[in-house]
Amino acid sequence: MSQEKVIKTALISVYHKDKLDEICKKLNEQKVKIISTGGTKEFIEKLGIKADAVEDLTSYPSILGGRVKTLHPKVFGGILSRRDVLTDNEQLAQYEIPEIDLVIVDLYPFEQTVASGASDQEIIEKIDIGGISLIRAAAKNFKDVVIVPSQSQYATILEILNKGAKTTLEQRKELAMEAFQVSSHYDTAIFNYFNKDFDKPVFKQSIGESKTLRYGENPHQKGVFYGNFGELFEQVHGKEISYNNLLDIEAAVYLIDEFDDTSFAILKHNNACGLATRTKLVDAYTDALAGDPVSAFGGILITNREIDVDTATEIDKLFCEVVIAPSYDKKSIEILKSKKNRIILIRKDCNLPRVQFRTLLNGVLLQDRDLSMEGKDMMTPATKRVPTNSEYTDLEFANKLVKHTKSNTIVLAKGNQLLASGVGQTSRVDALKQAIEKAKNFGFDLRGSVMASDAFFPFPDCVEIANAAGITAVVQPGGSIRDKDSIEFCDANNMAMVLTGVRHFKH
């Protein structure tokens, strides 16, 4: 038999009616018989197009409050019958079942209902039964039947119909593939909704939106972003966002969210190379830049305030990849657009996921996002000398930074400014030495500064080096069997140390 199939009868049962009118009009022009249900049938008839009721086909009304409408052998027989199998055709004739060549379905909005904060009962009623069954049946029989499983495929079927009421095997198979993506995504959302009460150790994720990137981490690697970037940001200028840009953007967002006061951060390779909190935004930017003006070249800039002209003017002097802010005044946008490739993002008000996952070996790692942040009230003094108020302020500032810096890490800060950090070292002593050297190279006086460590000190060598550099206060999680050695050294040298009890590794 020919692989090209003519559409003679269509079953249409949808939740959303937007743009359905064009399809129905085209089907009517091409003399396709339409069978429909409830509200969809009313919609079609208001267009002046005849539609037969499913109830007339099945001889059963819609029952159980609409829970059962299409679930009937006369519907599913017409969809699942194999046109080239003699016994199937004989049974269609015996039971007066019409062949159905096209099925258009749009499922109840389950995910949107969950996101709206609806009651459990409202959510349960948005679990589609008939629709999902129609989708699977039509997709299974793609050899003979066309399936349109959601609004996303309306444009596809309209394009096909504009060339006539017939389809190729390739078209039907591609739509079947789309159908199983729709059904599997739908079932994943339902499973995850139920599983939040049971926490069954099963990993299921389904992300329907994707964007092919220029490449991955390197030009010889393919890269794809699965997700809705537009839900979080509006890009108003610049080149296409890359794989590495996305990694830096995520790190920047998580970091800046730790700060409520006017702050500006500059990141490179997921780590802050500059950050400052100031009364004026332009001062926050210039002091963040002072932390490491060399690494800032080609970096990611982010702030939690609207960017004004003064700040934009200073930013424009620097070559940077991305600028992120909640808003920009009109003149600052024009200033920043002076660089053709500079990516300018407006961050939208949107909640970020509370869990993280990534592939590893032949599986997936999943964890809760690190949402802990220890302020002064969670810092227990371990030394005879308690930090001064200004030291406490800087210890909180440094502790926020160390949480978002690659381990092993040491952060040095003073006056709500990042002086330097030692990043991703295999030894905590090396991380401290790196931070001290960087701070001195950029002209910072470390006397009176503070130090934050993402994990405990196994030996007193770090506090010994810190003391020699002029650092006066330390925050660390504690928990080493040799904490006493570091504490005793601090006591002997008038240093203050506080313990948080919370480690902040970042690998």
Same fold for the domain at 229-347 and the one at 376-499? Answer: yes
What are the residue numbers of the active site?
140, 269
Name the class of domain 376-499: alpha beta
pLDDT at 2: 52
Q: What is the DSSP string of 429-450?
A: HHHHHHHHHHHHHTT---TT-E
3-state secondary structure (DSSP) of residue 373: coil
> Is domain 5-195 in CATH 3.30.1330.10, yes or no?
no
Residue 307 DSSP class: B
The edge-to-edge listing of strands for the beta sheet with 233-237 is: 233-237, 343-347, 320-325, 299-303, 263-268, 271-277
pLDDT at 67: 84
Would you give per-residue pLDDT tens digits along the chain (507 residues)?
A: 458 999 999 999 998 898 899 999 999 999 999 999 888 999 999 999 999 988 888 888 888 887 888 889 999 999 999 999 999 999 999 999 999 999 999 999 999 999 899 999 999 999 999 999 999 999 999 999 999 999 999 999 999 999 999 999 999 999 999 999 999 999 999 999 999 999 899 999 999 889 999 999 999 999 999 999 999 999 999 999 999 999 999 999 999 999 999 999 999 999 999 999 999 999 999 999 999 999 999 999 999 999 999 999 999 999 999 999 999 999 999 999 999 999 999 999 998 999 999 999 999 999 999 999 999 999 999 999 999 999 999 999 999 999 999 999 999 999 999 999 999 999 999 999 999 999 999 999 999 999 999 999 999 999 999 999 999 999 999 999 999 999 999 999 999 999 999 999 999
pLDDT at 1: 43
Residue 453 phi, psi (nearest 5): -120, 140
Task: Determine the topology of domain 229-347 in CATH.
Answer: Cytidine Deaminase; domain 2 (3.40.140)
Domain ranges of the chain: 5-195, 229-347, 376-499
Q: How many CB atoms lie within 10 A of CB 218?
A: 9
pLDDT at 363: 94
